[in-house]
A and B are shown apart, each in its own frame.
Chain A
Amino acid sequence: MAKRLFSVLTCLVFLFILGVGGAGAVTDGKIVIGHPACLSGKFAKAGEQATGGIKAIVKWVNEVYGGVSVGGKKLKLEYKYYDCESKKESVTSLLERLITVDKVDFTFAPYSSGLTLAGAPIAEKYGVIYMDHGGASDKIFKQGFTYIVQTIGPGSRYHEGTLDMLHKYAPNDKKLALVYEDSEFARAVMDGAREHAKKLGYEIVYEATYPKGVSDLTPLLSALKAKKPDIIIGGGHFVDGQLFNRQLADLDINPKALSLIAAATLPAFYDALGNLAEGVMGPSHWEYGVTYSEKAAKKAGLEWIGPSQDEFVKLFKEAVGKDIIPDYHAAEAGAAVLALVKGIEKAGSLDQDKVRKALGELKFMSFYGTWDIDETGKQVGHSMVDVQWQNGKRVIVWPEDAATGKLVYPMPTFAEKAKGKKALPK
C-alpha cells in the first residue's frame, strides 16, 4: 500500500517536472512568434482559421520573402502555439510559458476581446509585443496598455458602409430595424450603426437585442414582423446569424435587405442555409476576391508586403491540410504577422520598444488591405467591405472601388428563394 502511495507521488512529481521543464529553446538566428491559440472550446473555429493564416504567412516570409532582414541578416520566422481551450486560466499560463520558457520573441493574442484582455497584463509585465488579431472591443485600447497592437478593425464601424451603400441604392426605403446580440462587441456595432443611421435620415422602427446562446428567436421576430421594416441589420456571431436568417424564413419575414455581422460572410453560412442565404449581406474585414494588390498599393502611395491573395489562399490550404477557403479570421491573423515583419525591419532590431515604436509609425498595404494604428495600438487604417451572396458566391458590393459586382436590391423573398430563385443582378 505504501507502494501505491509512492507510485501516485512519483507520478505527480514526474508530471510536475514535465510541466516545468521542456528547457528554453535558444532562439538564435530566428524570430519566434508565440500564440496561445483557441483550438478547442467555443472559439475553436476562429482559432483553426487564425493558426492556419499565421502558418501560411510564416511560410511565405521564410520561403518567398527570404526571411526578415535585421541588421544585415535574414532571420527565419518560427511559429509556436499551444491550445488555450478558449479559457482564461490557460491563456495566462501558456502565454507566460511562451515568453519565459520558450523564449519567443513576439506574442499573438488568443481570439475574442475577453481572452485578449486576459493575456494583456502578462504581455505588459514582460514588455513583449502582443498582436491582437481577434479582439475588436474599442475598450481594450482605453486601458493604457503599451504593447498591444490591433489588426482587426474596431467594432463601432462594422455597419457604417452597409448603411452608406443602401442609402445610395435605395434612398426612399427608410424603415430600418436593428437586431443584435447582447454582447459587448455586437452592442458596439449597434451603437455605431444607430448613430450613422440617424445621420443618414433612417427611421429606426424596431430595435432589440437577444442574449448569447439563444436557440429560438421566434418571439422577437414576430414583434419585428409587425413593424414591416425595409432593411434589417444585426447579428452577433456564427450560430445566432444562421438562426436569425433561418427563422426569418420560417416566419416569412421579407425585408428588402438583410445584413448580418460575422455569420453571413462565412462559407459555412451558405452551406448551412443553402438557397435561403441568397441576397443576404454582411460586412467583413476581408473576403476572398478583394482587390487589394501591389498595383492598388502603388496607386494609394503605400508600401506593399506579402503574398497576393491567391498565393495566400494556396498557402492557407497547405497549412490546414484541407480544401477550404480562408475567411477573415485567417486573413487578419496573417496580416498581423506581416505587420510584425514590417515593424521589425523598420526598427532594424528585435528590441520590443523599438519595434513597437516602428509599428506605431507603420502604414502599409497587404492582401488584407491597409494597416495603420493610432497611438494606443488601435487599428484605424483598415476598412471593411460588404459582401452579398449571389448565386452561391460571395460578391463584394461595397465600397465601389473594391466591388466585384453590383448589389441586388431588393433581395428575393423567402418564398421565392424556397422555390430556388437566386439573387442575380439585372
Chain B
Amino acid sequence: MKAKKYLPFIPVFVAYLALFLIGETVSGIWQLIAMLAFYCALGQAFNLFMGMTGYVDFGYVAFLGVGTYGMAITISKLYSHGLGFGLIAIGFALAIVMSVLLSLAVGAVALRLRGAYFAIATIGVNEGFRYLIEGAKLWNGSEGIIFSGPLRMAFGRQTATVLTTFAADVFVFIIALAAAFITLVYMRGKVGYALTALREDEDAAKVMGINVTKYKIIAFITSAALAGLLGASAWALKLTYVYPPDVFEITYTVEAIIIVLLGGAGTLLGPIVGGLVYGLSKYLLAIILPGFQLLIFAPVIIFIIVTFPEGLVGFVKLKTRGTWLENYIV
C-alpha cells in the first residue's frame, strides 16, 4: 500500500530518462534537451508552491537570481584555492543558503497576503532586489560578474568545457527529478493534506486547526531552494556570467506560470508536459519562421488555455479518473 503512493513517480522518471537518453544518443541536440529540461525543472520547482497552494509568486525569478549569484560569487572569489569540485559544491550550498534566506524574508512579508496582493508584493521584492544590487553596488552592481576565466583556471580548459556544456545540464535534470519527487512526497503527506485544505478555503482550514502558515512556508522554502539550485546550474555554471537585469528578468516567472498552467497546476506530470510543449514549440517556430514565431506562438497559447482551462495533464487526469491510469497520472 505504501509503495502505491509513489507509483505516479514512474511516468515522471521515465519521461526524464527518455529525454536524457535522447539527448545523449542523438548527436547535436543536447543543448535543446538541456533547454527543455530547464523549462521542465523551472515548472516543476514553481509548481511545488503554486500548484499546491494556489499562490502565484511573480517574483519567483529572484530565487533563481540569487542562486546564480551564489555560484558566481563562489567561483569568482575562491577559484584560486585549489578546492577541486568542492568549489562547485560550495557554490551550490551558497546558492541554497541565499535563496532560502531570501525566501524567509519574502515569506515573512508576503505570505500574509493573498491572491493578487501576494503576486504583486513578490514582484516588488524581485524588482526591489535587482535595484538594490544596482543601486548599492552589491556584488559588482550593474557590471555583473563574468567568471569563465576563473572557472577555466580552477578546472582546466577540458573540465571547464564539460562543466559548462554537459554537467550543468545534468544538474538541471537532477533538480527536475528532485522537485518532482518532493512534490509527490508533499502531495501524499501531511503537507499536501494541509495545503489542499488551504487551497480550497484558507479560512476554513485555519478554523479546523490546521497550521496553514507552517505548511505554506515549508512549501515556499522548498520551492525557493530548488530555484536557487536551478539558477546556480542553468544560469551560473552553464553561462558563466551574471548581469542583474538578466537574472531578475520577470519574463522567466511568466514563463514558469505558463508552463505550469499549460500542463495543469498542481499536477505532477503537468510541468513536464507544459515545459516540453512550451520549449519545443518555441524552438521549432524559431527555426521554421525566424522572426515571426511569437506571432504564431501567442494564439496557440490562447487556444490551449481556452480549450483546456485546467491544463493538458489536468484534462487527461479528469478523463482517466476511474481507470487503471489513475494511479499513474497525477
Contact = CB atoms under 8 A, between A and B. Distances in A.
Contacts of A93: 31-32, 34-35, 283
Given A121-B239, A211-B134, A211-B142, 20 more contacts: A1-B319, A5-B325, A12-B280, A20-B22, A81-B290, A82-B286, A83-B293, A88-B246, A94-B286, A97-B31, A101-B28, A118-B241, A121-B165, A139-B146, A142-B149, A144-B157, A182-B134, A183-B142, A184-B143, A213-B245
A117 interface: yes
Contacts, number: 155
Contact of B239 (A1, A100, A118, A211): A118
Interface in B261-283: 273, 276-277, 280-283
Contacts of B315: 4
17 contacts: A2-B320, A15-B276, A19-B283, A20-B29, A37-B290, A40-B291, A83-B290, A83-B291, A85-B286, A92-B31, A92-B238, A93-B32, A97-B28, A101-B29, A121-B148, A144-B153, A211-B142
Contacts of B320: 1-2, 5
B53 interface: no
B312 A8 contact: yes
Interface in B155-170: 157, 161, 164-165
B32 A96 contact: yes
Contacts of B63: none
Nearest to A145: B148
Q: Kindly list the 9 A-B residue pairs having the minimum CB-CB distance in the complex, ordered from nearest.
A: A100-B28, A143-B148, A96-B31, A1-B319, A39-B291, A83-B290, A143-B149, A93-B31, A121-B164
B171 interface: no
Interface string A27-44: 000000000010110000
A186 to B, nearest CB: 9
Nearest to A182: B142
Contacts of A311: none
Contacts of A423: none
Interface of A: 1-2, 4-5, 8, 12, 15-16, 18-20, 22, 24, 37, 39-40, 81-85, 88-90, 92-97, 99-101, 114, 117-118, 120-122, 124-125, 137, 139-140, 142-145, 182-184, 187, 211-213
Interface in B1-43: 22, 26-32, 34-35, 38-39
Contacts of A81: 290
Contacts of B246: 88, 114
B284 interface: yes
B316 A5 contact: yes
Contacts of A211: 131, 134-135, 142
A118 B286 CA distance: 18
A22 to B, nearest CB: 7
A125 B286 contact: no
For the residues of A in contact with B, the DSSP-based class is helix
A211 B27 CA distance: 42
B233 to A, nearest CB: 13
A12 B134 contact: no
B144 A184 contact: yes
Choose among B146, B161, B245, B325 the residue with the greatest number of A CB atoms under 10 Å from its CB: B146
A125 B32 contact: no
Contacts of A20: 22, 26, 29, 32
A97 B29 contact: yes
B132 to A, nearest CB: 12
A99 B27 CA distance: 11
Given A19-B280, A39-B291, A117 B241 contact: yes
Contacts of B287: 22, 82, 94, 97
B319 A15 contact: no
Nearest to B32: A93
Contacts of B284: 15, 18-19
A139 B291 CA distance: 30
Nearest to B18: A16
B141 interface: yes
B319 A90 contact: no
Residue among B29, B134, B235 with the highest chain A CB neighbour number at 10 A: B29
Contacts of B245: 212-213
Question: By CB atoms of chain B within 10 A, which of A8, A37, A145 has the most?
Answer: A8
A252 B325 CA distance: 72
A12 B34 contact: no
B133 to A, nearest CB: 11
Contact of A82 (B27, B135, B290): B290
A95 to B, nearest CB: 7
Interface string B296-320: 0000000000000000100110011
B38 A182 contact: no
A12 B277 contact: yes
A37 B283 CA distance: 13
B99 interface: no
A117 B148 contact: yes
Given A92-B34, A92-B238, A19 B286 contact: no
Nearest to B235: A88
Contact of A97 (B32, B243, B291): B32
A122 B143 contact: no
B142 A84 contact: no
B164 to A, nearest CB: 4
B294 interface: yes
A10 B282 CA distance: 18
A343 B263 CA distance: 49
Contacts of B157: 144
Contacts of A99: 28
Among B153, B281, B283, B320: residue with most chain A CB under 10 A: B283
A122 B294 contact: no
A117 B31 contact: no
Contacts of A8: 273, 312, 316
B142 to A, nearest CB: 5
A95 B164 contact: no
Contacts of A39: 290-291
Nearest to B27: A100
A404 B320 CA distance: 75
A252 to B, nearest CB: 29
Contacts of A120: 148
